[in-house]
């Protein structure tokens, strides 16, 4: 694949390889970081991917998507299509209920951007499952006057996306394409849609690590790419500065202040971030930017490592180059960074079919077969291949919203009992399956490392179809 950003060595940009190597080692200890890319003075000085994650595989961004939606608003404001003080009730007159909470009268675009809509909860809980998300948003009740209190609200970001789409007559991706995505080298990527066919805005975008890094570097450069001004500078200055007090939050990098869909952080930093550790970190004082994808339950850990290791290592002048031996050792460490792989001897067992009991997922049939090198598990006609002692690639739905790239390995405990480890490597999710089969029936249990707006699978129980 071709790279978007220039490459350099840590010492050439004023950081020792020792510090970078220590940061990478500590990052790899976390359960679980999937990739990182460090930029200094506009150049990539270190990067790594935990196999089977890779440089050409896009990753779910979750709420890091919000920062791209914010940029779309910034473009629309600069082009006179919107105003930060536009009232929502004026923009969505046809979506208002007969009786609307009167506090909506004072809700403006800037309140959605700064997470101060007046709600006391995330309104996606009120919107998902409804046929019209915009109508569902206006049917909610406001606990506060807009602009007076911070409350993280992905529903507000969806309304920003809908506002841009209605104001420009283009989809969010199409509107962003010539203004931001193309200049940053971002390829066409998936963004989840609402029932109205509008990008959900607050989550659902997918990018590679370097595409995230390219965005972070643009933010660090004041919205520029190669001297071309992309993001309007006046808007970016507002978006990256404190617009709302969020000091009630617990964690130290989530209570410094909130901008327009960007978080302020310690050490005069700001960032876009998403659930489980997706982030584009901007460090103006050090002229650094960092991109990370992950599946972490505690995101604070990755920021602590940045502040404790990388920040103090950022010097003002170039350093003597690292030795070839040190560089080669670091490269070998990163090449060995990989998800665990289950392993056992295989066995040839004929295909068996089972009719599943009624279950919440709606699966009807399960099929199982074992070979010398792999296990095959089929649910409703979609087959997952899992290698014994190796990973095998699959593209499946299996009740996911879109087909997912899944890499799987397997372990045969006995001819009646098996384990499967599945990495959904466009996401932070890994699934551990326990499968029990005999001549009369089958039982399949899934355990996910993380859950997001979903529940764990019920145990699937089947009866032989013979």
Peptide bond just before 32 cis, omega within 30 deg:
yes
Return the sign of the alpha-carbon dihedral for residues 190, 214, 337, 271: negative
The CATH code of the domain that includes 104 is 3.40.710.10
CA distances from 58 to 113, 368, 427, 443 (A): 26, 31, 9, 33
Sequence-ordered list of residues with C-beta below 8 angstroms from that of 85, at least 6 positions apart, any chain? 108, 109, 110
Residues 240 and 115 in one domain: yes
**Can you read off the two tokens belonging to residue 63?**
């709420």
Residues 87 and 216 in one domain: yes
Residues 25 and 106 in one domain: yes
Q: Is residue 2 part of a domain?
A: no
**Can you read off the two tokens belonging to residue 313?**
């290592």
Range(s) of the domain holding residue 382? 349-464
Q: Closest by alpha carbon to 172, among 71, 83, 263?
A: 71
Q: Is residue 327 part of a domain?
A: no
How many independent structural domains does the chain possess? 2
Q: pLDDT digit string (tens) for 257-316?
A: 999 999 999 999 999 999 999 999 999 999 999 999 999 999 999 999 999 999 999 999
pLDDT value of position 465: 84
Cβ contact 109:82 at 8 Å: yes
In the listed set 290, 313, 336, which residue is the last one of a domain according to the structure?
313
Extended beta strands in 224-358, E state: 224-225, 228-229, 263-265, 269-274, 278-283, 288-294, 349-356
Question: Rounded CA gap, 237 and 77, in Å?
Answer: 14
Residues 380 and 297 in one domain: no
pLDDT value of position 2: 73
Residues 362 and 231 in one domain: no
Residues 279 and 365 in one domain: no
Residues 87 and 22 in one domain: yes
Q: Is residue 329 part of a domain?
A: no
pLDDT value of position 439: 87
Residues of the chain where predicted confidence (pLDDT) is lower than 50: none
pLDDT value of position 1: 59
Residues 286 and 373 in one domain: no
pLDDT value of position 454: 85
Q: pLDDT digit string (tens) for 207-259?
A: 999 999 999 999 999 999 999 999 999 999 999 999 999 999 999 999 999 99
Residues 279 and 388 in one domain: no
Question: Rounded CA gap, 264 and 284, in Å?
Answer: 12
The CATH code of the domain that includes 439 is 2.40.128.20
Residues 261 and 383 in one domain: no
Helices of type H across 222-270: 233-239
Q: 378 forms bridges with which residues in the sheet? A: 367, 383
Q: Is residue 340 part of a domain?
A: no
Q: Closest by alpha carbon to 419, among 432, 406, 404?
A: 432
Cα 99 off chain centre by: 37
| Burial group, residue 303, by CB count within 10 angstroms (0-12, 13-18, 19+) | buried
Residues 162 and 282 in one domain: yes
Residues 303 and 356 in one domain: no
């Amino acid at each position: 694949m071709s790279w978007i950003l220039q490459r350099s060595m840590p010492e050439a940009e004023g950081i020792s390889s020792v510090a970078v190597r220590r940061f990478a080692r500590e990052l790899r200890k976390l359960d679980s970081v999937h990739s990182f890319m460090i930029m200094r003075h506009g150049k990539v000085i270190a990067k790594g991917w935990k196999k089977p994650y890779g440089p050409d595989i896009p990753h779910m961004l979750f709420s890091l998507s919000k920062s791209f939606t914010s940029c779309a608003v910034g473009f629309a404001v600069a082009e006179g299509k919107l105003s930060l003080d536009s009232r929502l009730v004026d923009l969505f007159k046809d979506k208002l209920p007969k009786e609307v909470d009167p506090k909506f009268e004072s809700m403006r675009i800037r309140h959605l951007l700064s997470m101060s809509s007046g709600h006391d909860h995330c309104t996606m809980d009120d919107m998902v499952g409804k046929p019209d998300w915009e109508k569902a948003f206006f049917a909610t009740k406001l606990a506060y006057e807009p602009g007076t209190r911070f409350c993280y609200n992905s529903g507000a970001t969806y309304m920003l996306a809908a506002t841009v789409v209605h104001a420009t007559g283009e989809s969010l991706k199409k509107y962003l394409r010539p203004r931001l995505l193309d200049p940053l080298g971002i390829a066409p990527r998936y963004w989840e849609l609402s029932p109205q066919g509008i990008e959900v805005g607050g989550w659902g975008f997918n990018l590679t690590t370097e595409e995230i890094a390219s965005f972070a570097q643009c933010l660090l450069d004041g919205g520029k790419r190669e001297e071309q001004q992309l993001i309007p500078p006046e808007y970016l200055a507002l978006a990256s500065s404190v617009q709302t007090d969020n000091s009630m939050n617990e964690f130290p990098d989530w209570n410094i202040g909130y901008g327009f869909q960007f978080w302020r952080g310690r050490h005069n930093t700001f960032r876009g971030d998403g659930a489980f550790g997706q982030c584009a970190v901007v460090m103006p004082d050090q002229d650094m930017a960092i991109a990370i994808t992950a599946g972490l339950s505690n995101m604070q850990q990755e920021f602590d490592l940045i502040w404790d290791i990388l920040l103090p290592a950022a010097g003002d002048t170039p350093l003597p180059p690292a030795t070839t031996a040190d560089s080669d050792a670091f490269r070998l460490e990163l090449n060995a960074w990989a998800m665990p792989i289950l392993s056992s001897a295989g066995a040839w067992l004929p295909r068996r079919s089972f009719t599943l009991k009624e279950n919440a997922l709606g699966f009807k049939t399960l099929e199982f077969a074992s070979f010398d090198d792999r296990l095959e598990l089929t649910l409703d006609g979609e087959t997952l291949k899992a290698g014994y002692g190796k990973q095998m690639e699959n593209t499946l739905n299996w009740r996911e919203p879109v087909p997912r790239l899944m890499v799987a390995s397997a372990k045969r405990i006995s001819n009646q009992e098996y384990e499967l480890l599945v990495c959904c490597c466009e996401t932070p999710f890994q699934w551990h399956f326990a499968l029990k089969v005999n001549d009369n029936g089958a039982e399949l249990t899934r355990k996910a490392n993380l859950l997001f707006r979903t529940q764990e699978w019920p145990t699937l129980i089947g009866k032989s179809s013979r």
